[in-house]
Chains A and B, each alone.
Chain A
Amino acid sequence: MPDVVIGQQVVITRGSQVAISASDFTIPQGKITAIIGPNGSGKSTLLHAIAGLLPVSNGKLTVLENTPLISSSQISYVLQYTTVPTGTPLTVAEAVAMARYPRLGLFGRPSKEDKRVVASAMERLKITDLAKRHLTELSGGQRQRVYVAQGIAQDHAILLLDEPLTGLDINSAKTIDSIIHEEPDRGCSVVLTTHDLEEARAADHVILTAGMVMACGKPEDVLTNENLTSAYGLGSLHEHHGTNLMLPTEHHLDDHAH
């Protein structure tokens, strides 16, 4: 399988700060790739660069055999914390249908195919019954399902998801998790960021970040005790079920704080 993303000595800066130092990494085609690392380790920065939202300061980033900007029409990116200004009168159906704008341009009328794609995305995310609801009337989990529906309703070869399962109710998390696992069967490559070590272990491919890409490859090769200790710092990992290491949870951090 060819790689859909190839990073060679990639450096990404945000303002005057270097968010990712010179890093090499790949993302395989038709697989689920998890990007894991501590807060501020550059996970979202990496997704932004792949999506073409952030330029690469140095090195070479190839996405679908081209620059991220040229390939951006084949990338769908579900952002973390998409904030909708309260008072924006936007229904669920309208928000999902906006994903067809790249195809429709300024004036194009949605075709039957466009409507079918939107309806299918809403059905897959189980939000069809919410179609006429206002975005601000939804729970956090329902809203995240709308944003993922918007993500898959857009034509894409790569689906990027920034912490898609963080803080969701169990139903929304299960629905979105099933979408993540269905997309590769449709020929799409999925890249997601996560704080959950188990979620990363369940992926086909893992990228571990800590201000740079520290390791990239199969979960068993990347998520080693040595790599995790190095990325998260000594003493921040916890023994779990004998041999497995766990990342610090908020509960653990609270314990330390007190």
Chain B
Amino acid sequence: MEWFLDPFALGFQQRALAGGILAGLMTAVVGTWLVLRGMSFFGDAFVHGIVPGIAAAVVFDINPLLGAAAAALVMVLAIELVNRQTALSEDTSIGLLFVGMLALGVIIISRVDSYSGSLTTILFGDALGVTSQDLIVQAILALIVISVATLFYRPLLALSFNADKAQLWGLNPGRSHIALLILIAAAVIGSFQSVGTLLVFGLLVGPPATAALVSRTVPRMMFTAALISVFSVWLGLTLSYHLNTAGSATMAIVPVVLFFIVLTFTRLRTIRKEKVASHA
């Protein structure tokens, strides 16, 4: 029992758990749509793209959330601009902004001499440094993200099914896409302080991808992804305490390992079913 309780005996450890769970719930809901719409590369670029905003916020001593939000806006608008003004494919515009924004972030960071502005802290977070104030902001963002995602459930499902069909059903696919971009931004901004920008991506993709292997409907996929996220956060923090490893990174690696375990089981089950069917 002590093995389970010791990692969360102190206040900062409990806050790390709460922050991780809030991040996990937000990213599970948003990440489900991200995975279904095949936008993982955008998600990857996006979590790196907000780095210069956070670094600039540290330099100018403003709230990092505002810096991240400003960088997110620049990123999305610039991708949209390249898409509309050129015939280049979308992954090229995303790639351009990915490397451009990350490079800008590293340049700004190279001029800063503080722990909170270091590349490691921004990319990998500081799970054990989450404050009560951070948790309140995160809880508000989580509430907004989950409410908006619920509001847009049908438009987003229709968009994932087929954009033309969504248009024909009067469920404005353009508006749904923008709503999804805002949801991704809110989930990332609301989570990066506890799990870091890079590792938010792990929670955005890992649990929904694992859930997709075993879910037959989107609501079940979301619910399963949320369970996997919460489990990953708890197990990650527990393991990091006992193994003395980085908390955020350990949280992020759990869903990836889980994905391959579940994949192995589902493949074995399929092979067994095929064998039974071939003998019948």
B-contacting residues of A (Cβ < 8 Å)? 51-53, 72-73, 75-77, 79, 82-85, 87-91, 94-95, 98-99, 101-102, 104-106, 132, 134, 154
Contact = CB atoms under 8 A, between A and B. Distances in A.
Tell me whether chain B's interface is mostly helix, strand or loop, or mixed: helix
Nearest to B171: A101
B160 A106 contact: no
- Chain B CB count within 10 A is highest, among A51, A52, A90, A132, for A90
Contacts of A94: 217
A73 B151 contact: no
Across the A-B interface, the 8 shortest Cβ-Cβ residue pairs: A89-B215, A101-B169, A102-B169, A102-B170, A89-B216, A89-B221, A87-B212, A82-B162
A73 B158 CA distance: 16
A88 B169 contact: no
Interface string B11-39: 00000000000000000000000011110
Given A89-B212, A89-B216, A106-B153, 15 more contacts: A51-B168, A77-B168, A79-B162, A82-B161, A85-B160, A89-B215, A89-B220, A89-B221, A90-B217, A91-B217, A98-B169, A99-B169, A101-B154, A101-B171, A102-B169
A79 B165 contact: yes
Contacts, number: 71
19 contacts: A53-B164, A77-B168, A82-B165, A83-B162, A84-B161, A85-B36, A85-B38, A85-B160, A88-B160, A88-B161, A89-B212, A89-B221, A91-B217, A95-B161, A98-B154, A101-B171, A102-B171, A106-B152, A106-B154
Nearest to A133: B216
B57 interface: no
Interface string B201-235: 00000000000100111101100000000000000
B132 interface: no
A42 B152 CA distance: 34
Contacts of B215: 89
B266 to A, nearest CB: 12
A157 B236 CA distance: 56
B155 interface: yes
B157 interface: yes
B167 interface: yes
Interface in B164-187: 164-165, 167-171
Given A72-B168, A77-B168, A85-B38, A106 B151 contact: yes
Contacts of B35: 87
B164 A89 contact: no
Given A72-B168, A82-B165, A98 B157 contact: yes
Contacts of A102: 169-171
B275 to A, nearest CB: 18
A180 B170 CA distance: 24
